[in-house]
Structure formats: C-alpha cells, structure tokens
Amino acid sequence: MAEALPIVLVPGLTCSARLYAEQIPALWRFGPVTVADHTRDDSMAAIARRILAAAPPRFALAGLSMGGYIAFEIMRQAPERVAKLALLDTGARAETLEQTERRKVVIALAKSGRYAEVADIAFPLYVHRSRHHDTTLQGLVRMMAQETGVEAFLRQQQAIMSRPDSRPGLASIKCPTLVLVGDGDEATPPELAHEIAAGIAGAQLAIIADCGHLSTLEQPERVTAALVDWMNW
C-alpha cells in the first residue's frame, strides 16, 4: 500500500467544514484529512501562516474559492510542503475595484446587524441557475454562514480584498495540480480556471457540468471522483 498522504482542505468565504462533507469519506482512505481554520486572521499571509503551523510537514492541499486564494499564498510561503494541489472554483487575479465596491455593501449590511441576510444575497451568485430555488442547499449555505459568524466574515472579506495577484507565481508551481470549476460558476467563471490551468505546467482542468460555484455541494459525486483521481496521480 502506498504511504499515506495527509490532506488539508481549505473552505471558502463563510463556509465551514460542511463544504467538504461529501468528499471527506472518500479522501480519508488516502491519509488523514484536516479542514483548515481560515476564520481568525484578516490577511492571506496570516491565514496561510496559521494553516501551515497546524499542518503536517508534507500534504496534499485543496481549496475552493477563498480557499484557493489561501492555497496560492501557502504555495508562496512553503511550496516544498505541498505534494499535490487542487484549486476548485477560484481565480488567480487580485481583487478589482468593482468587486471591492460590491463587498463593501454586504460588509455594511453585516456591521449593521443584518449579517443573517448576507448568505441569501450571495446564494444566486454561488449556485447554478437551476439551483436558485433549492431550499435544502440554501439552508446549508445559511448554516455555514451562521457557523462562520459575523466577525470571521469581516476578517475574511478584508483578507480577500487585499489579496495579491497570484498569476505571476503560476509557472513556479511544480506539484501535480488539478484545476476544477463548475460550468455555470458565475462568481469565478470557467475562463479564470482556464487561465490558472494554462499557467501551471501539467495542470489538469476539470469542468463540472450543471454546476455553479459551490461545486463540492452542488455536484458532490463528480467532484469527489475528480479529487480521488487527483490523489491517485
């Protein structure tokens, strides 16, 4: 049997360990699985340092959305510790002014005591258009936002807004890399995944059909299969 490889999973903005609930059982057979804590710091550098301090010496790393931004920062800080990399529904570009302006609206809402509304506002952007009326999925997104809490949400938004452009470092990523995206992802569209995959030598691109931004929840079986394949590379 191959030697076990620990796996570190990094959730997205306002997402908890539930984001990977369907994937963990299948990944567990490859090695111990950890869901990283990305809630306690307000910069990508600090979040990555905290995750690295708690992580095994060498591990496979997967991140979705904000988790992908954090994964890029981990690759900048300690590339030698990452044996495999999976970037799910994410982008390598820095924040745009337009994105920051949109964030300021929900940040103001959260600070005014209306944080509970944030998940519902984001929901149509985060899921495939065919899932806009999926109350079960919406309930799960609300639950994760509640578990994250308003203070962590504000720290996460600050970290996202100040994130660096990761495109200049793509060519330096040498480990086996999976880039995965939902074909209907409106938050980080497929062209951003194509950009990442083109920049990393040997990266494999997976487009998940009938899927939005929250791919691990929307098409769990297909995403799990892609991650299992990745761990078998």
**Structural domain total, the chain:** 1
144 in a structural domain: no
100 in a structural domain: no
Q: What is the CATH number of the domain that holds 165?
A: 3.40.50.1820
134 in a structural domain: no
Q: What percent of the chain has pLDDT over 90?
A: 99
pLDDT, mean of residues 9-26: 98
Distances in Å between the alpha carbon of 229 and those of 79, 84, 86, 118, 178? Answer: 22, 12, 11, 35, 10
Which range of residues forms the domain containing residue 167? 7-95+158-232
pLDDT, mean of residues 154-160: 98
pLDDT value at position 212?
A: 98
List, for residues 162-211, the tens digit of each pLDDT value: 999 999 999 999 999 999 999 999 999 999 999 999 999 999 999 999 99
pLDDT value at position 126?
A: 97
User: In which order are the strands placed within the sheet that holds 59-64?
Assistant: 33-35, 7-10, 59-64, 82-88, 177-182, 204-208
E strand intervals along 4-152: 7-10, 33-35, 59-64, 82-88
Q: Distance between CA 211 and CA 220 in Å, rounded? A: 10
List, for residues 51-90, the tens digit of each pLDDT value: 999 999 999 999 999 999 999 999 999 999 999 999 999 9
pTM summary value: 0.97
Banded model confidence at residue 3, pLDDT cuts 50, 70, 90: confident
124 in a structural domain: no
Banded model confidence at residue 32, pLDDT cuts 50, 70, 90: very high
